[in-house]
A and B are shown apart, each in its own frame.
Chain A
């Protein structure tokens, strides 16, 4: 990618469904003509699903929480939390999508963890 023509946009958080991590699926107009709108939406929606899974009050989280609580939270020193595994899944998914879809179109999506889960930094050349 030519360094001079690289610009950044930041996909913001979407709080409409709660305080959990979700990113806005609105298609940024800067990417018009570079990538298909549905492809982009699917990617962001899948990233959101990783975080939904992380924040869900499911068996994984509750069991882990109970065990951690009973051991005085010593468990956290031994194992990665469910949340951390989900965050890693999201990062892996984004990398894979970059390789398969976005890089050839001059777009790179960043790991949301790099921005403290505030936004997804998106580089694009124009």
Chain B
């Protein structure tokens, strides 16, 4: 009752019924994936280490560095490091990282009536057959895959994140440390975050060493360690951070120079050894400086999901998978006979064996398996995650098995 009245005053916003596995904060202004505990942990670590730095090292250096007054530079640099690392961290973790919004019912009906896809048969995945369409892309032929969840032809470089359950433009990887997918809209923040953390970490370690050395001159090494324990703790934490982040930072520097995403690197999209032929990377610019310029300072597209927009009937219908009222408006001829039964927007049963539980999921022996049941949709999602890739799960590691309600009963 209260809720109904509330809705009369404040109409539902789209983010309140968002179909992906995302969490929204501050009335939809910020968003992240479901797991944000590690993001908060990272933020706390940064704040605590910086607080120790300002409380002990910065104060010590301001007073003890000759000539007097030069030492002010140390806390100033510390503030810059804190500001940049925190702003890059939250910019990576709390914005829409490039979600491709799911198609609306009328659009799905239209696209299914087009029948411009290839006849299925190749690349049969779990459940429904995979649907592909070949298009010309920068002088090469590229296969676009139909996303069964989002009901769209995935653009080149896009991929579906199984954890967030969205398609992302220029998908890089799902990063649990920042609690978000890294994709087109936040890749620059992510890269700058890694670099800032690495640089700030090295800077703080240098300050710690300076403090201990200066103090050792006055009171001896043992007493210096006892008098400034904060510096020792900072040194250890910063050291760990630098070790874990600098490698990743270097890897992404290399990837940007080659204009590849982590996803493409793992899949070996442009790797001649994995592809069996030389593949030209069409996204590469004339030189690697231009690649950097494009990635860090290039065009910044707006968020496409209109999460603060008011709920529309069409959007509601898309969530419920109700396609009946829109299918009639499509005027173009129906699917050609050779096409397989199209995958409807509503997850009706794919051509499964009569008993859904008899589905066999093949996986590598190292894989860990996670079964999650979605309450509302009656969708059982089986996520197969390779345990060796701790840093993110792309479409290829994630296979979705969608069973209908009839197989599992109402929840």
Residues of A within 8 A of B (CB): 6-10, 13, 15-19, 30, 54-57, 61-62, 64-66, 68-69, 72-74, 76, 81-84, 87, 113, 115-119, 121, 126
Contacts and interface: CB of A to CB of B under 8 A. Distances in A.
Nearest to A82: B299
Which 10 pairs, one residue from A and one from B, show the smallest C-beta to C-beta distance? A65-B297, A116-B101, A72-B87, A116-B304, A16-B136, A7-B331, A15-B137, A55-B299, A61-B299, A62-B297
Contacts of A6: 329
Nearest to B332: A30
Contacts of B293: 57, 62
B187 to A, nearest CB: 13
Contacts of B23: none
Interface residue tally on B, bucketed by range = 35 or more
19 contacts: A18-B137, A19-B156, A19-B157, A19-B169, A57-B294, A61-B297, A61-B298, A62-B298, A66-B297, A68-B297, A69-B296, A72-B84, A72-B87, A72-B88, A73-B189, A115-B107, A117-B304, A118-B152, A126-B331
A61 B290 CA distance: 13
A116 B294 CA distance: 23
Nearest to A115: B107
Interface of B: 83-84, 87-88, 91, 100-101, 103-104, 106-107, 110-111, 135-138, 142, 144, 152, 155-157, 169-170, 188-189, 192, 282-283, 290, 293-294, 296-302, 304-306, 329-332
Contacts of A126: 331
Given A7-B330, A16-B135, A74-B87, A119 B107 contact: yes
A9 B111 CA distance: 9
Contacts of A81: 300, 302
Contacts of A61: 297-300
A119 B110 CA distance: 12
A9 B170 CA distance: 27
Nearest to B192: A69
B100 A116 contact: yes
B403 to A, nearest CB: 28
A92 B399 CA distance: 42
A6 to B, nearest CB: 8
Given A7-B329, A116-B101, A118-B107, A18 B282 contact: yes
A15 B156 CA distance: 8
A72 B192 CA distance: 9
A118 B300 contact: no
A69 B297 contact: yes
Contacts of A64: 297, 300
A65 B138 contact: no
A84 B100 contact: no
A83 B304 CA distance: 12
Contacts of A87: 302
A16 B138 CA distance: 5
Contacts of B188: 69
A54 B329 CA distance: 34
Contacts of B110: 8-10
Given A62-B297, A121-B107, A19 B155 contact: yes
A121 B142 CA distance: 25
A82 B298 CA distance: 10
Nearest to B85: A72
A52 to B, nearest CB: 10
